[in-house]
A and B are shown apart, each in its own frame.
Chain A
Amino acid sequence: DSGVTQTPKHLITATGQRVTLRCSPRSGDLSVYWYQQSLDQGLQFLIQYYNGEERAKGNILERFSAQQFPDLHSELNLSSLELGDSALYFCASSVGWGDTQYFGPGTRLTVL
């Protein structure tokens, strides 16, 4: 157990819908990262927050947004969902912005 928690574990929804994935980092970690793992794209970095501020942005679609709250938990919002958004979404956290990242168990999103 990495200490990073993600909810929900599984999510099944329909195209066009909006979902929110939640992540709580390890105690003491200030950075939160979101990654997407799909069969065709592999593991891709989406976005990083450090102590509430966006720090780095990767291949994140405009339909996706994220934020990190004062208590350091983070949410990833996915809207206007498409079939291709079906993937395993990981949250990771690290102490600072450049330290080893520890991953949560992931949220498996299925868009029907």
Chain B
Amino acid sequence: AQKITQTQPGMFVQEKEAVTLDCTYDTSDQSYGLFWYKQPSSGEMIFLIYQGSYDEQNATEGRYSLNFQKARKSANLVISASQLGDSAMYFCAMREVDNNAGNMLTFGGGTRLMVKP
């Protein structure tokens, strides 16, 4: 069984500073994918970034980067130069890659990020 843990229920960051949101995972699969999604107060789920278990480089997408440490089973999201619009819930998710298991995502409990002006 997979498990995603986000230990920070809430965090504050000063505008223009960088922030790291923690995510640890537990899986016995060799092939898996890790995702981060953002959920603003309006409710939609916005895909931010993806890291495959076999990817050697950490994923980056604009101001978002994923600090992937496979041995530690962690996939932390780093947001650089925080903006007020970054205030939202952030969810880490893992995909089980199994021909018999489809493509379900297992989500962590989320971290609420609040950016202070």
Residue B18, interface by CB 8 Å: no
Residue B43, interface by CB 8 Å: yes
Query: Please, which residue of chain A has its CB at the minimum distance from the CB of B45?
Result: A103
A99–B50 Cα distance when bound, in Å, is 10
Chain A contacts with B in 15-74, Cβ cutoff 8 A? 31, 33, 35, 42-45, 48, 50, 55-56, 58
User: A77-103, CB under 8 A of B: which get 1 and which 0?
Assistant: 000000000001010101001111111
A100–B51 Cα distance when bound, in Å, is 10
Residue B97, interface by CB 8 Å: yes
A-B contact count (CB 8 A): 59
Query: Please, which residue of chain A has its CB at the minimum distance from the CB of B91?
Result: A43
A104–B43 Cα distance when bound, in Å, is 10
Q: Report if A56-B43 is in contact (Cβ < 8 Å); known contacts: A42-B110, A43-B91, A100-B50.
A: no
Q: Report if A102-B103 is in contact (Cβ < 8 Å); known contacts: A42-B109, A42-B110.
A: no
State which of A48, A94, A98 has its C-beta within 8 Å of the C-beta of B97: A98
CB distance from B78 to the nearest CB of A (A): 19
